[in-house]
Amino acid sequence: MSTADLADVEMVVRTIATVAVDNEKYFGDLDAVVGDGDFGYSMARGFELVLQGWDDFDRTDIGTFLKKVAVVITSRIGGTSGPIWGTAFLRAGMTAGSADQLEPAQVVAMLRAAIEGIKARGKSDVGDKTLLDALVPAVNTIEQEVSAGHDAATALQAAAVTAREHAEATRAMQAARGRASYTGERSIGTLDAGAVAIAVMFEALADQWPKRLAES
């Protein structure tokens, strides 16, 4: 896996934002089954603002860019999604620091920092039927692919498969966090909207990465 630069990071953030906006109804419908149904709406509104302000973000270095994105997300996404996603981008940005280029190990460290931030902010962990149930296994797969010397495209394809498998597996879980947890056993048999969102995002990244390489 080669190094990543600011343009690569921009592509990742823009893809995540586009997925959030384009899938507003889908994610909202999933959340409405046992949640309060605002997940899709909140995500779309926040990431819309990221896309609207795209040209104005400070791009001094990778860390600064990610931290500026985090500020917009935290201040504009409602409910619990804003603090969780904002913390993820903030922790990733803090880990990247003033780097202009990211080694594969740094990318993994940024993802791990984002995960720890989400865990702390959401007081949740793997098994609670949240986005962590797809994100953590996907990042584990990326780390394994990096350790095996595979390129980014291969790593993202593998992570997308892992994320989708684990998102589907949330159907058998009982929610332990969020509004869905109030429904108790009724949450069993439903998909977690956050986990599905992670799967869709990784699938979009796996699709976009070869195009990014062709353009660079």
Q: Residue 210: give its domain's CATH number.
A: 1.25.40.340
Amino acid at site 54: W
Number of domains into which the chain is organized:
1
In order along its 216 residues, the chain shows pLDDT tens digits of 688 999 999 999 999 999 999 999 999 888 776 566 677 888 888 899 999 999 999 999 999 999 999 999 988 776 677 788 999 999 999 999 999 999 999 999 999 999 999 999 888 899 889 999 999 999 999 999 999 999 999 999 999 999 999 999 998 887 665 554 544 455 677 889 999 999 999 999 999 998 877 776
pTM to 2 decimals? 0.92
C-alpha torsion angle, residues 109, 151, 62, 160 (rounded to 10): -70
Q: Domain limits at 211? A: 4-215
28 token code pair: 């909202």
Residues 78 and 75: their CA atoms lie apart, in Å, by: 8
Residues 98 and 194: their CA atoms lie apart, in Å, by: 30
